[in-house]
Amino acid sequence: MANPAPGFKKRPEHRITVSPAARRVRVTAGGEVLADSHGALAMKEGDYPLVYYFPRKDVRMERLERSTHSTHCPFKGDASYFSLKGGARDVVWSYEQPFDEMAAIREYLAFYPDKVEIAEL
């Protein structure tokens, strides 16, 4: 691997599963649809709640603006953030160049469920 995750080397028992979402998933904020996808991915990591990752083509990117905020995960890589234009800050994160083990989520976007409404349809 060219870019392996150091987290898995230190904690090989740590499990992250990524699979196609079983249903269509929609994200809204204040009644406005921000994402609507039949192609979302469902990520389950340890005891954390399920997180949906959306392909960019299914997200209204024109409603988002890149933030200066960033974080690092030893299993997934560096996350960049986006805010709603004229709205809530750091609503969305994305692993644009994840570690090799998490390549499935490259360029996908995830939304904070406490900042938007996420519904399975």
Whole-number Å distance between alpha carbons of 35 and 8: 31
- The pLDDT, as a whole number, for residue 44 is 97
pLDDT at 113: 96
59 three-state secondary structure: strand
pLDDT score, position 78:
97
Inter-residue contact 119 to 113 (CB < 8 Å): no
**Strand arrangement, sheet containing 77-84:** 16-20, 41-45, 51-54, 109-111, 92-94, 77-84, 64-73
Report which of 95, 25, 34 is spatially closest to residue 59, judged by C-alpha positions: 34
38: which 2 tokens?
Answer: 């039949």
pLDDT at residue 22, as a whole number: 94
List the beta bridge partners of residue 18: 43
Rg of the chain over CA atoms, in angstroms? 14
Which domains are seen in the chain, by residue range? Answer: 6-120 (2.170.150.40)
Q: Residue 7 phi/psi, 5° resolution?
A: -60, -40
pLDDT one digit per residue (tens) for the chain, 121 residues: 788 999 999 999 999 999 999 999 999 999 999 999 999 999 999 999 999 999 999 999 999 999 999 999 999 999 999 999 999 999 999 999 999 999 999 999 999 999 999 999 9
